[in-house]
Homo-oligomer: A and B are copies of this chain.
Amino acid sequence: MTLEPKVFLKTLFEAAVAAADPARCVPPNLPDPPKGRTLVVGAGKAAAAMAKAVEDHWTGPLEGLVVTRYGHTAPCRRIEVVEASHPVPDSAGREASSRILKMVGGLTADDLVLCLISGGGSALMAAPAAGLTLEDKRRVTSLLLRSGATIGEINCVRKHLSAIKGGRLAAACAPARVATLAISDVPGDDLSAIASGPTVPDPTSFGDALAVLESYGIDQPLEVVRHLQAGREETPKPGDPRFARIETKLIATPQQSLEAAARVAREAGIAPVILGDSIEGEAREVALMHAGIARQVARHGQPASAPAVLLSGGETTVTVRGEGRGGRNLEFLLALAVALDGAAGIHALACDTDGIDGTEDNAGAILGPGSLARARGLGLDARARLADNDGYSFFSRLDDLIVTGPTRTNVNDFRAILIEGDTAGISKS
């Protein structure tokens, strides 16, 4: 079988996204219909597509409200879809969240709340606790992010400033039955981390949240500190009787998407090597190490003989020092281009599975052994573009952006590096 490398890599990405497509993974996981009402709520980049998949396969009456990111909507008839801002929350999300909390109040034990959760839900379902504003939460989150606090510590604080996160949504649904369908975009598929776990009990306390602020010397905004000190309405804890009737299913994960891509590769005669479903780190450094492993495949046939494709998921970070444009996948790919320096027979793709890398209009981009030379021909200096965090200019000038539009799902980033062998069944581009 002969496949053009770019086409091959795009096919892998499509397989990864398709594996997480709500139309495919929601229907087999729907709960039994209740005796009473069925209310669908939820938030995340996949929320609208998940709601549509429910509508298309649900037998019986249905109503509800889900929040998704601007542009990630899907045509629902019975479930209302609200679009809101991500990653910075806005009033659309705040108002939708407060309507969700009202809708789930007053249900009976005969009713079912179907909760559709996916990445991005934390910002989209923003409901500050009474007395707090979105701006208060934003400020403390931004201070925490710069403090070196772990994501676990940040989430502990956020759950204690919210009216909906850390299991509070599920608590508000009692005594109704709650069925949560979740699409994971977090390391270890930790359910309490996906959209900050609105239906997952929270073992942490107001005291823990205060201790986090204290240990990083954060005493602002004052309203936040006072709210934590007051310590009213603790998050529901594991063992809380209101959680007796909650069932949670993980219906799509980064790992499942990597496995789907691996199957496609294997069928094409290319050995897949899955390095990790939750690779983290500074994008340009993660790229350096991917380059090192790719060279090892090319030079020594390890950890697999070429033709092979390295696959990885997870979320890198970008410490912005420049003025350029582009998300973390383009930063990764540009750094990879510099590190590989045109190495023969190595091609790569890096995309966000949600279809939007950062805040641009592209999902990611693609890279070949000739990309650097083509860039030089256009007067583009890869190192200078990287120093300026300007992956977007680089790959758009090369016409190598991958533009999918919102995919309406989200299993985080997807990276694939193809190392062609001498005997590769794929032709050089």
**A→B interface (CB under 8 Å):** 148, 187-188, 255, 273-282, 285-286, 288-289, 292-293, 295-296, 299-300, 302-304, 312, 314, 339, 383, 387
CA–CA, A339 and B187, complex, Å: 12
A289: chain B residues at CB < 8 Å are: 276, 279-281, 285-286, 289
Closest 5 CB pairs of A and B: A285-B285, A281-B288, A276-B292, A276-B296, A279-B292
CA–CA, A279 and B278, complex, Å: 19
CA–CA, A148 and B386, complex, Å: 12
A278: chain B residues at CB < 8 Å are: 292, 295-296
- With A148-B387, A277-B299, A286-B288 known, 7 other A-B pairs at CB within 8 A are A148-B383, A255-B300, A276-B293, A276-B296, A279-B289, A280-B288, A303-B303
**Shortest Cβ distance from residue A255 to the other chain B in the assembled complex, whole angstroms:** 6
A295: chain B residues at CB < 8 Å are: 187-188, 276, 278
Please pick, from B255, B281, B292, B299, the residue contacting A285 in the complex, using a CB distance under 8 A: B281
Please pick, from B148, B288, B296, the residue contacting A274 in the complex, using a CB distance under 8 A: B296
CA–CA, A339 and B282, complex, Å: 14
**Shortest Cβ distance from residue A253 to the other chain B in the assembled complex, whole angstroms:** 10
**Shortest Cβ distance from residue A186 to the other chain B in the assembled complex, whole angstroms:** 13
CA–CA, A195 and B288, complex, Å: 24
- A275:B300 contact, CB within 8 angstroms: no
Please pick, from B273, B275, B299, the residue contacting A292 in the complex, using a CB distance under 8 A: B275
